[in-house]
A = this chain, B = another copy of it.
């Protein structure tokens, strides 16, 4: 049987040249799979045609924007998914979706190998390959950039050697990954941690200092899911897109951080994710009124671990799925409206309302109508502190008084 390599195909130079390269290396055929995650840019049909022009025996294009929003972005909202309390997992949640479609294509087109263009020092190779193994461990994996030290220069030389019908675009100084959930930027001068980002890095967001008029909006959630903006029903995808626009116009969602990669190194990353940051901020504010205190405290630990699991490429792993079960069980009553103001890079929650709120005005108020029985507090305080009181006394006594 002829080997068939199913390749995650972006349409760019590197993966285009990889088509004939992989065919040559394996003596087999290449199936190109391209996924529309809302990354924008080129028309997907042109991408598909280019794959065929470069020699792919099959070229598949999948519009996965809604699937991505519903099955990958929404769980991230529910988990308030921020790696290191900051990064909304832009690339991390897109890999498992791509994995699913590559494995499906392999099963459909008789693929024997799966392939991606990632290097050996990043997170994405791990996310792809652990995903591959989790979904179909019988398929072999080829990662030319890592396994054959395949570089851009070699790719260009090879393209010329075989007269590949591809225009050699001028190399962008930026390495970018983007989808509807956000945009990740790496570039040489950021590798000096003392250098600030420059304005040309950004594409999803305006400069927050531009001084647009404030944008006030109301996001409605049902069971943890955003369902309306300013009273107009939206899908999750529409919510992200609208908030990318409105948040982006206000310069919301820029991040500049040093990140702990799974492979053991630290790296500087710049992100912009306006819609993601607005949605997570609003979701969290709604949880603050809809989740009971001890549940909320514990969920913060679960959320943090969820984010680490997803960052670490373990989307399909058993622990991630059980963390999902915990999180899902908490979302039933995360229903209500959050009012926010987007302005000058700030996302400010200034109103919450919910039929499922645990806030009880009559217990909280200091005015007439107070139903809180203060006489209960004395007993509470004494027993709440009793074990500490006994221990503190012992500590003093033992240390010689």
Residues of A participating in the B interface, judged by any CB pair closer than 8 Å? 84-85, 119-121, 125-126, 129-130, 133-135, 137, 143, 146-147, 149, 175, 186, 188, 191-197, 208-209, 211, 214, 256-260, 262-268, 284-285, 288-289, 291-301, 304-305, 308, 312-314, 316-319, 321-326, 328-330, 332-333, 339, 343-346, 348-353, 355-361, 363-367, 370, 372-395, 398
Residues of chain B within 8 A of A344, CB atoms compared: 208-209, 344-346
Residues of chain B within 8 A of A260, CB atoms compared: 288, 293, 296-297, 387
Interchain Cβ contacts under 8 Å between A and B, 24 examples: A84-B296, A121-B370, A130-B384, A137-B392, A191-B365, A191-B367, A193-B289, A194-B351, A196-B350, A209-B214, A260-B288, A264-B385, A265-B363, A266-B358, A267-B359, A267-B364, A293-B387, A317-B392, A318-B392, A326-B326, A358-B394, A376-B379, A376-B382, A377-B383
Residues of chain B within 8 A of A357, CB atoms compared: 193, 394
Q: In the complex where A188-B367, A308-B297, A378-B379 touch, is A388 in contact with B316 (Cβ < 8 A)? A: yes
Known: A120-B377, A258-B289. 5 other contacts (CB 8 A): A137-B389, A194-B351, A264-B385, A317-B391, A358-B394
A262 to B386, CA, bound (A): 10
Q: In the complex where A288-B84, A348-B256, A392-B134 touch, is A372 in contact with B121 (Cβ < 8 A)? A: yes
A326 to B325, CA, bound (A): 5
The answer to whether A390 touches B186 (Cβ under 8 A) is no
Residues of chain B within 8 A of A366, CB atoms compared: 119, 175, 186, 188, 191
A175 to B367, CA, bound (A): 12
A389 to B371, CA, bound (A): 15
The answer to whether A318 touches B130 (Cβ under 8 A) is no
Which residue of B is nearest A129, CB measured?
B381
The answer to whether A266 touches B359 (Cβ under 8 A) is yes
The answer to whether A317 touches B292 (Cβ under 8 A) is yes
Residues of chain B within 8 A of A359, CB atoms compared: 193, 258, 266-268
A192 to B367, CA, bound (A): 12
Please give the distance in Å from A13's CB to the nearest CB on chain B: 16
Residues of chain B within 8 A of A119, CB atoms compared: 366, 374
Identify which of B120, B147, B289 contacts A266 (C-beta below 8 A): B289
The answer to whether B386 touches A265 (Cβ under 8 A) is yes
Please give the distance in Å from A241's CB to the nearest CB on chain B: 24
Residues of chain B within 8 A of A188, CB atoms compared: 365-367
Residues of chain B within 8 A of A367, CB atoms compared: 188, 191
The answer to whether A377 touches B377 (Cβ under 8 A) is no
Identify which of B316, B364, B383, B398 contacts A392 (C-beta below 8 A): B316
The answer to whether A390 touches B194 (Cβ under 8 A) is no
Q: In the complex where A297-B308, A374-B121 touch, is A388 in contact with B134 (Cβ < 8 A)? A: yes
The answer to whether A266 touches B364 (Cβ under 8 A) is yes
Please give the distance in Å from A24's CB to the nearest CB on chain B: 21
A363 to B387, CA, bound (A): 11
Residues of chain B within 8 A of A288, CB atoms compared: 84, 257-260, 266
A323 to B297, CA, bound (A): 13
The answer to whether A264 touches B293 (Cβ under 8 A) is yes
Residues of chain B within 8 A of A391, CB atoms compared: 292, 295, 317-318, 358
Residues of chain B within 8 A of A322, CB atoms compared: 295, 298-299, 326, 329-330
Please give the distance in Å from A270's CB to the nearest CB on chain B: 10
Please give the distance in Å from A119's CB to the nearest CB on chain B: 6
Which residue of B is nearest A263, CB measured?
B383
User: Which 8 A-B pairs rank lowest in CB-CB distance, beginning with the nearest?
Assistant: A379-B379, A120-B374, A264-B386, A130-B385, A376-B379, A325-B329, A120-B377, A196-B350
The answer to whether B193 touches A134 (Cβ under 8 A) is no
Residues of chain B within 8 A of A314, CB atoms compared: 294, 385, 388
The answer to whether A146 touches B377 (Cβ under 8 A) is yes
